[in-house]
Amino acid sequence: MGLAFDEMRGHDGKAVRPAYGELDRWLKEVPADVLDYRRREAELIFRRIGITFAVYGEADATERLIPFDVIPRIMSGGEWRQLEKGLTQRVNALNMFIKDIYSGREVLRAGVVPEDMIFRNPAFRPEMNGQSVPHDIYVHIAGIDIIRVDADTFYVLEDNARTPSGVSYMLENREIMMRLFPELFSRHRIAPVENYPDELLASLKSVAPLSTPKEPNVVLLTPGVYNSAYYEHSFLADKLGVELVEGRDLFVKDEVVYMRTTQGPQRVDVIYRRVDDDFIDPLAFRPDSILGVPGLMSAYTAGNVTLANAVGTGIADDKAIYSFMPEIVKFYLGEEPLLKNVPTWRCREAEHLTYVLDHLPELVVKEVHGSGGYGMLIGPSASKIAIEQFRAKLKAAPDNFIAQPTLALSTSPTCVESGVAPRHVDLRPFVLTGRKGVRIVPGGLTRVALKEGSLVVNSSQGGGTKDTWVLDG
Amino acid sequence: MRIRIAHTTTYTYDAPPKSVTQVLRLTPRNHDGQYVLNWRIDLSRDSQLHQREGAFGNISHVFTAEGPFNELTVSVEGEVDTQDTSGVIRGTVERFPPALYLRDTQLTEADAAIIAFAEGIRAEAGADRLTVLHALLTALNEGFAFDTEPTHVGTTAAEAFKLKRGVCQDGTHVFIAAARHLGIPARYVGGHYCRTDEAAPQEAGHAWAEAYIDKLGWVGFDPTHGLSPTEAHVRVAVGLDYLGAAPVRGSRVGGGNETMSVAVKVTPATWQAQGGSWQTQSQK
């Protein structure tokens, strides 16, 4: 792993890149105590509005603040347009792929993806087979995790097509930055992100069942207050101006979904659901789920309600499926992928496994179904014992793992104890797909690994967030 | 053989429920060796039955009955003509290639004990899949005691295998787990079994497995009886496990405690023309 590319100063660390020129001047002008004061103020605001998330597996604190870094991550308009093209292509291919595996299965027939990786995948839902969805859109909201290694090279690190979260941070971070640093804002022309809720709502309405008589009724289905992203669910429902409901607030009669209201049952047309497939209907999936709506799948199969995202989209989150994305893009679109994949070894393949076992100290190994930075090994920073423990896990169930080279994620200037220093970042843009195509609000959620040298940006592993600025022009 | 099937499920509630929603997989389809002459489902409450084809090609019905009521009855009645096909099942509605049926489910995951059992059978029976499956069938029929006490609908293959006892569902799950471990696609079949050999007719639904063998196709294996399905078997629904083929999955709002009683009668029917209509008659 070489020296990381710095978003502000490039590889050589000398010349400031144009997009960061104004920020660089500002950082030189602003007294350290002012920056520190604003930083504490930002934290106070976050605490007051109660934007929190839960960390699983920690007994003491169920909810915590995600640290917010006040120095924005900046992209030029040109960089963004390059990224936007790649994201649009990727999400179009994802939608075609998911439609295909639940209908004609051409991709399997052509041998592009091995059959057993689909059929034996827990995220594949046989119940979706032959089911049509409005406008053939399955992934209405995608969170595509992007990392950068040099001025021109962006890699997709992960596709999140199940129920991507984090967009509330994108919106809140922007709001707080505008409040705390109006003078810095006035020195830049920054593309807005505030229209995301409008874009999302328009997208959701555009995919209502074709039979929906009038203005579609959209609701947001949450697992409830104990879910780690509950704050985001209530925040988004509020911004969208739609009802926030739990499973018990909905019911199904004669293959139609209704919401219980004080004025009697009200028909529901589109459910932006933040409940996983497994829990969404106890009559179709896990019978012990109390978070879902009994009979929901019957209404869905009948075409009387749209679920966003569709059931069965989680298959795209699988990291072994991810490794086939370049071939998947070519297969459906006949184009070269604009966004690269991180080179990936599939441990299910004997040759790959041998290589991985021989090179554990230099690789990142991940569970194919894992997320949130849980259950992964970062070879270069792992102890010998941890590596040996992981080796045993790998040998026992190689199918469950993939491995990737340890990439030098780009860095971005960040407030730390000692002042301002580079820290590794990634980016999760949110890609909306509706009847009229793909829409991406310029920006996304930049996550930053606050510990020096750390490459893990996940909030569950102590990562923080930044506002992401895309410059106009 | 003509088989007459009648079963009634009665739910009694401590307190009247607000509503009851159920998904029913109670309707058989035709295939080689099975022809459905007539079939009907009746509900004691006035509600619409919506029919759909489910993921695995099963016919399912869904209904929501709105309360209050103290009792709900679901009755099924019909007649099916069957023929012995030596256990080979053809002409079924297939929505997936056999490879899908290698998929693990929570109820059919092979643990170390089932893996050892399956591999032991293969070591003895050799490479021929049909021989392996028959050996598996015999071993399960002999080593697994029928007992309605220790298991329930949520018992996994691993749990049942440890107990070495259970109902037809349990033996079937173990068979499926073992077959899949050996790389043989296998699935769960829910249906009925018509007893002709004993005084008492079969008083519950039945379950067995099907496994896929190249050149032959799907072949049935009934671990409870230690044989391949005969003309006494009526196939109703298939799935990856019990949950996927379950005759009833239900949910309700309110209702306190629920008591369920099931009356099943599966009997050979003789038919005779009388006044221009078909009549059926039970036989012991």
Q: What does the alpha-carbon distance between residue A93 and residue A433 come to, in Å, rounded to a whole number?
A: 12
| Nearest Cβ partner for B23 among A128, A298, A302 | A298
What value does the mean pLDDT of chain B take? 91
Token pair listed for A373: 């930075």
The three-state secondary structure class of A173 is helix
CB-CB under 8 Å, A254 with B64: yes
Same domain, B119 and B216: yes
Q: How confident is the model at residue A233 (pLDDT cuts 50, 70, 90)?
A: very high
Digit-coded pLDDT (tens) for A245-258: 999 999 999 999 99
Tokens linked to A274: 């933040």
- List the single best residue of B180, B251, B253 to mutate versus A (max A Cβ within 10 A): B251
Beta-carbon separation of A130 and B250 below 8 A? no
What does the pLDDT average to over B132-151?
Answer: 92
**Minimum distance, in Å, between the CA of residue A119 and any CA atom of chain B:** 5
Residues of B in CB contact (< 8 Å) with A are 19, 21-23, 48, 50, 52, 54-56, 62, 64, 66, 95-97, 99-100, 102-104, 154, 240, 243-244, 249-251, 253
Give CA–CA dist B284/B269, Å, rounded.
10
- Residue B81 has what pLDDT? 96
Q: Is B231 in the same domain as B257? A: no
Lowest-confidence region among A130-144, A238-252, A356-370, B263-277 = B263-277
Confidence at residue B270, expressed as pLDDT on a 0 to 100 scale: 67
- Residue B55 with chain A: CB contacts under 8 Å: 126-130
- In tens, the pLDDT along A4-23 reads 899 999 988 779 999 999 99
**Beta carbons of B251 and A301 less than 8 Å apart:** no
Closest Cα in chain A, distance from residue B185 (Å): 11
pLDDT at A58: 47
Chain B closest CA to A301's CA: distance in Å? Answer: 9
How many CB pairs lie under 8 A apart between chains A and B?
72
Q: Which two tokens stand for residue A422?
A: 């580079």
Query: Which one of B24, B62, B102, B107 makes the best mutation probe of the A interface by having the most chain A beta carbons within 10 Å?
Result: B62
Residues B254 and B241 placed together within one structural domain of the fold:
no
- pLDDT at position A1 is 46
Question: In this model, does residue B280 exceed pLDDT 50?
Answer: no
CA neighbours within 13 Å on the CB side: how many for B237?
Answer: 25
Residues 6+ apart with CB under 8 A from A358: none
- Identify the band that residue B284 occupies on the pLDDT scale cut at 50, 70 and 90: very low
| C-alpha dihedral sign at A249, A253, A257, A259 | negative
What pLDDT score does B256 carry? 86
**Are residues A298 and B50, on separate chains, in Cβ contact within 8 Å?**
yes
Please state the rounded mean pLDDT for residues A334-344: 96
**Do B21 and B137 belong together in one domain?**
no
Q: Provide the CATH number for the domain around residue B142.
A: 3.10.620.30
Q: Contact at 8 Å (CB) between B193 and B202?
A: yes
Q: What is the C-alpha to C-alpha distance for residues B264 and B204, in angstroms, rounded to an integer?
A: 6
- Chain A, nearest residue to B239 by Cα: A126
**Terminal-to-terminal C-alpha distance of chain B:** 14
Predicted pLDDT at B271: 46
| Interface check A255 vs B, CB under 8 A | yes
Let me know: does B266 contact B192? Beta carbons within 8 Å: yes
Which pLDDT score, from 0 to 100, does residue B199 have? Answer: 56
At residue A128 the predicted structure's pLDDT band, cuts being 50, 70 and 90, is very high
B54-60 average pLDDT score: 94
DSSP assignment of B70-135, as one string?
A: SEEEEEEEEEEEE---TTEE-S----S-GGGGG---GGG---HHHHHHHHHHHHHH-S-HHHHHHH
Residue A472 banded pLDDT, cuts 50, 70, 90: confident
Tokens of A414: 């960040």
Same domain, B237 and B97: yes
Provide the shortest C-alpha distance from residue A397 to chain B (in Å).
14
Asked whether the predicted pLDDT for residue A83 surpasses 90, the reply is yes
Judge whether residue A66 has pLDDT over 90: no
Do B105 and B159 belong to one domain?
yes
Q: With an 8 Å Cβ cutoff, are A295 and B100 in contact?
A: no
Measured between CA atoms, how close is B22 to chain A, in angstroms? 8
Do B77 and B92 share a domain, yes or no? Answer: no
Largest CA distance in chain A: 67
Number of domains in chain B: 2
Assess A290–B contact: CB distance below 8 Å, yes or no.
Answer: no
Q: How far is B125 from chain A (nearest CA, A)?
A: 26
- Residue A29: pLDDT band with limits 50, 70, 90: very high
**A301–B52 C-beta distance less than 8 A:** yes
Asked whether the predicted pLDDT for residue A59 surpasses 60, the reply is no
A231 vs A248: CA distance, rounded Å: 19
Domain CATH code at residue B68: 2.60.40.2250
Residue A443 in this model has a pLDDT that exceeds 60: yes
Residues B112 and B74 in one domain: no
pLDDT of residue A2: 55
Instruction: Judge if B202 and B254 occupy the same domain.
Output: no
pLDDT at B282 over 80: no
**Same domain, residue pair B211 and B121:** yes
The verdict on a CB contact (< 8 Å) between A298 and B52 is yes
- Minimum distance, in Å, between the CA of residue A435 and any CA atom of chain B: 27
Q: Per-residue pLDDT tens for A235-288?
A: 999 999 999 999 999 999 999 999 999 999 999 999 999 999 999 999 999 999
Cβ within 8 Å, pair B104-A295: no
* Cα A276 to Cα A299: distance, rounded to the nearest angstrom: 17
**Beta carbons of A115 and B103 less than 8 Å apart:** no
Given this model, what pLDDT does residue B274 score?
37
Whether residues B62 and B100 share a domain: the answer is no
Q: Does B52 sit within 8 Å of A302, measured CB to CB?
A: yes
Q: A51: pLDDT confidence band, cut at 50, 70 and 90?
A: low
pLDDT at B68 over 60: yes
Alpha-carbon gap: A159 to the closest alpha carbon of chain B (Å): 24
B252 and B240 in a single domain? The answer is no
Q: Is the pLDDT of residue A324 over 90?
A: yes
Closest-CA residue in chain B for A126? B55
Q: Is the pLDDT of residue A457 over 70?
A: yes
Give the mean pLDDT of A360-375: 83
Cα A168 to Cα A246: distance, rounded to the nearest angstrom? 19
More confident residue, B122 or A66: B122
| pLDDT average, residue stretch A83-101 | 98
What pLDDT does residue B200 have? 60
Given CB atoms, is A252 within the 8 Å cutoff of chain B? yes
Q: Taking 60 as the threshold, does the pLDDT of residue A166 lie above it? A: yes
Q: Out of A126, A295, A298, name the one closest to residue B55 (CB).
A: A126
Chain B contact present for A115, CB below 8 A = yes
Shortest Cα distance, chain B CAs vs residue A399, angstroms: 14
Check residue B144 and give its pLDDT: 87
Q: Could you list the residue range(s) of the whole structural domain that residue B104 is in?
A: 88-245
Model pTM? 0.93
Provide the pLDDT for residue B283.
Answer: 32
In this predicted structure, what is the pLDDT of residue B276? 34
A189-208: per-residue pLDDT in tens? 999 999 999 999 999 999 99
Lowest-confidence pick of A47-56, A151-160, A210-219, A392-401: A47-56
Inter-chain touch A284–B100, beta carbons under 8 Å: no
Mean predicted lDDT score pLDDT of chain A: 92
* Residue B2 three-state SS: strand
